[in-house]
Chain A
Amino acid sequence: MAPLGGYQGKILRVDLSSGKITTEDTAKYKDYLGGTGLGYKILWDEVKPGTKAWDPENRIIFGVGPLTGSGSPLSGRTSITSLFPVNIQELPGTGHMGGQWGAELKFAGWDSLIIQGKADKPVWLYINDDKVEIRDAKHLWGNGVFRATAEISAEVGPEVQVAAIGQAGENLVRVSCVMCNRSHSAGGMGSVMGSKNLKAIAIKGTGAVQIAADKKAWKDFVYEYLSLIGANNQGVVPTTPQPWAEYYGATRWNAQKGQFWGAANPPVETGVCSADDLNKMGFRTHKGVLDHGDGPGQRHTVRGGGCHACPIRCHVYTDVPALETKYGVSRYNANTCIGNSFGKSFFDNLASGSEIAIEASQLGCALADDYGLWSDYGQFPRDILYAYRKGIIKAKLDPKEYDSIPWKLLDAGDPAWLLDIMKRITYKQGELGKLFADGPAFLEKKWPEIAQFHQTYESSCWKDAHAKHHSNENGGQVGTLINMMYNRDSQCHTHSNYLASGLPLAVQKEIGAELFGTPDAVDANNNYTKMNKGKAVFAKLSLVYLELHNSLTACNWTLPVWVSPRKDRKYRGDIAMESKALAMVTGETVSRADLEMTGMRILHLFRALTARYMNEKDMRKNHDKANEWVFEYPADKPALSAGVSRMDRADIELAKDLFYEEMGWDKATGMPTRATLEKAGLKYVADELAKQGLIA
């Protein structure tokens, strides 16, 4: 394929078994955009049902898309798709990482990277524009992510972008990740690289991503797009009353006068960050304050950080000097959200917003980001704590092993506990290390007490031992449906971003009516009304744009801009911005409807792929599930009443009916129908599913 705007025209394929390095024509895969869409397509075409995550025949697809590297706002993400080792059936899933790595892959001239096979000894992959080499990683194996990154950078130059696994991925710990650019991680994918003896992928790219549109038109578009973006999670009003703002609300737009990046030297004030000041967008979200509390958050924040091409800095970079003296790790650490709560979540006795809490948090980062250990959205630390407090671990473990574990550090709320427990899991030390390294789904098969725990609200566990992630507390049935769809914790933020805008409910409903057909698609938080068609449309569009974001690529942690901070637009955003961006970058005609059809195609393919690996006809019953608590918590208040997120079983059955209807999926089974698949250009998928007896 001749290079077009956005696309580079070729995809890199590396077979680690044979050492063969080949290219694919991107044109073959353009119906799936790139990113996770490409990943699903490669799995469908090349990885037979019955394949396991660590088999050499499994593929791991590092997917970027036409927008990655283009400079389109928030386009810095990479979707890593493979069979997902944390899932009990190792069904397909995607880990998503930001940073600079994905853009660099594009600058090196590649539209994505497919890895297959298994090297006979540890290797790393060096992509230097069109020169691609498999290099020996003997000296790197056994080392953490930071040393691997530093050594590769010393070997080929400091401007190289490195994605690497730590010891966790090498040791086939299922709860492991791929790390890049210090603080960015793709959850669950570390051990797939480890199983292939692939330590790292390092890229130097000097080329261009072409923009098809006229320079001036593109520039105007980019600034228009930026003007529609608020803060992290697309909060479009500030958290506190500000002179420039009509509204304020519970958002991540927390910048204000007198608030500082206190560990910058000298400190930098976030200050007044009005909606029209695009040169202060990067100060709008002070993630240090959000993740570590106001005192330690300001005191220890060096600056914000994040991905290529994104003005919203959702990572926080901290300096906690005590980490060096007390625990012997670097004082400098960075992460966001669960990355920052990972260390803290091994405790239940740390005062929130305290110095000791930030020490636990950042010691957790220092260890986990170097080991390449994955938080699993907090699920496995919750399981460890529960099992300890309930005496399950004591009852199950050999007393000698139990006594060798420094539980007194956990009881004392001493962050040094992490030095033991994280290492134990990373190196699969003892029975405990092995069990928890396999993750919650495998654990609950061995320890039925944990399976029972997962059915309770306190576990925060949604289904199949995966954590809930913006579920029924975010839009009631909308979040519920979305959390039923994936083979890991759901990674959808489309709906939660819409609901976290901070705009008054009346405005949310008004805009919701324009987007979803009825104001009733949007409820007040924790005051959910019965299921209706609008909510099905809301859920469908949320998933369509999630898959589009992960394929284009664009950031689903802040996009889409369905609302905006602009009072002059009555807080309307523009649902067509993704299609407009794609049209301008590629020079192709792409309408909103065209792009949404592509999103649907990707969703159908993912659905079919999951059903095929499950060999499952009844996705409705056996895949789209929720744990007991969703319908039973809290016990003292009825479902769909004020103040609760409790769902009603019959109402959720109706929700499935309406949602499947929107998707064009069979109501009885939740499978995409032949007509739906054919309409989406997936006849070959329908044929294959029929052959396997999964659809008519």
Chain B
Amino acid sequence: MSERNSDDAGKTLEVDLPVSSPAGEWHILSRRDFLKIVGVGASALALPQIVAVGVADAAPQAQTYGPNAKGMIIGDPTRCTGCRRCEIACTSFNDGKSQPALSRVKIVRNMNFGVRGEQGGAARGEGNYGNFLIVQETCRQCAHPVPCQLACPNGAIEIAGPVNARIINVDKCTGCQMCQAACPWAMTVFDAAKKKSSKCHLCNGDPECVKACPNSALRYVPWQDRSRDVAQRWSVPAYLSTPANVASTCVQCHK
């Protein structure tokens, strides 16, 4: 699972290490597991340079710049048939349970009446009760400044390899759900059983949802900024503004 545990990752290494398994699949291993596999002590280990640029814990000045993601998931609504095997794959293969509310790829909320909901009117809008178009929603893996990351009061949303996904460090996450309020596309989710937020972590560049789609309606493509041309689901409330300790650092670049 790509969500991180701080006690597994040491202080010097903020991120999990992606390693290639014999089957060629990517897995995230904790540092401890990694050390077990390579059979050497931490001091002797030259670690690959995977940079986490996160908001440091309660730092007076929190740097928020982060590299862009390397990939992103996009959907082709004309191919989606609403089977929801992507939602199933997302949570079954990442979380060990089938739970669409926790899925980081969103199908069901647009399935019946489309993006505009029932207000579009039956047979006039999208979805199963309209013109049958099902618009899949996926995380944009936003460019800096990342709205969910900025909104997190605990610096729990971090940018981590191998594909620089914006992921949630479950140890820092307190389940306050501010990230859910901050995402204009409503793509962060909340695991009520764990009392932790979650979001799309791109499965280390090999997304389960993409692999699961029986209609090739989801694709994993090189990242580009799609935050400006994809309609937002809602407006982020005004009370969610850049924290002062972050804002004060913006001028370092934005002169």
Residues of A whose CB lies within 8 Å of any CB of B are 69-71, 100, 107, 146-147, 149-150, 153-154, 157-161, 181-183, 205-211, 214-215, 218-219, 222, 261, 264-266, 268, 278-283, 302-313, 317, 319, 330, 332, 334
Given contacts A100-B108, A311-B85, contact A211 B96 (CB under 8 A): yes
Q: Which residues of A contact B81 (CB under 8 A)?
A: 282, 303-306, 313
In the complex the two chains form, is B118's CB within 8 Å of A209's CB?
A: no
Interface SS of chain B? loop
Report, as a range, how many residues of chain B touch the other chain.
35 or more
Q: Tally of A-B residue pairs with Cβ under 8 A?
A: 158
Q: Taking CB as reference atom, which chain A residue is nearest B213? A: A279
Interface string of B196-214 (1 = CB under 8 A from A): 0000000000001001011
Contact of B83 among A154, A302, A308 (CB under 8 A): A308
Question: B102 within 8 Å of A by Cβ?
Answer: yes
In the complex the two chains form, is A303's CB within 8 Å of B132's CB?
A: yes
In the complex the two chains form, is B215's CB within 8 Å of A280's CB?
A: yes
In the complex the two chains form, is B78's CB within 8 Å of A158's CB?
A: no
Least CB distance from B219 to A in Å reads 10
Least CB distance from A218 to B in Å reads 6
Given contacts A219-B92, A282-B214, contact A305 B82 (CB under 8 A): yes
Q: Which residues of B contact A159 (CB under 8 A)?
A: 108-109, 111-112
Given contacts A107-B100, A181-B128, A182-B128, contact A206 B112 (CB under 8 A): no
A281 CA to B121 CA in the complex, in Å?
32
Q: When A and B form their complex, which 10 residue pairs have the shortest distance between CB atoms, in order from nearest? A: A311-B214, A71-B88, A208-B99, A282-B214, A282-B215, A281-B214, A208-B97, A206-B101, A158-B117, A330-B123
List 21 interface pairs A-B (beta carbons < 8 Å), by A numbering.
Answer: A71-B85, A71-B98, A100-B111, A107-B99, A147-B122, A149-B112, A150-B121, A158-B113, A159-B112, A208-B95, A215-B94, A218-B93, A261-B78, A266-B78, A303-B79, A304-B215, A306-B81, A309-B83, A313-B81, A330-B123, A334-B132
Q: Which residues of A contact B238 (CB under 8 A)?
A: none
Q: Which residues of B contact A266 (CB under 8 A)?
A: 78
Given contacts A215-B93, A305-B82, contact A146 B216 (CB under 8 A): no
Q: Which residues of B contact A71 (CB under 8 A)?
A: 85, 88-89, 92, 98
Q: Which residues of A contact B208 (CB under 8 A)?
A: 219
Q: Which residues of A contact B251 (CB under 8 A)?
A: none
A71 CA to B95 CA in the complex, in Å?
13
Least CB distance from B88 to A in Å reads 3
In the complex the two chains form, is B96's CB within 8 Å of A210's CB?
A: yes
In the complex the two chains form, is B214's CB within 8 Å of A280's CB?
A: yes
Given contacts A280-B214, A308-B84, contact A208 B78 (CB under 8 A): no
A319 CA to B163 CA in the complex, in Å?
41
Q: Which residues of B contact A69 (CB under 8 A)?
A: 98
A332 CA to B81 CA in the complex, in Å?
15
Q: Which residues of B contact A306 (CB under 8 A)?
A: 81, 83
Q: Taking CB as reference atom, which chain A residue is nearest B101? A: A206
Q: Which residues of B contact A205 (CB under 8 A)?
A: 101
In the complex the two chains form, is B132's CB within 8 Å of A317's CB?
A: yes
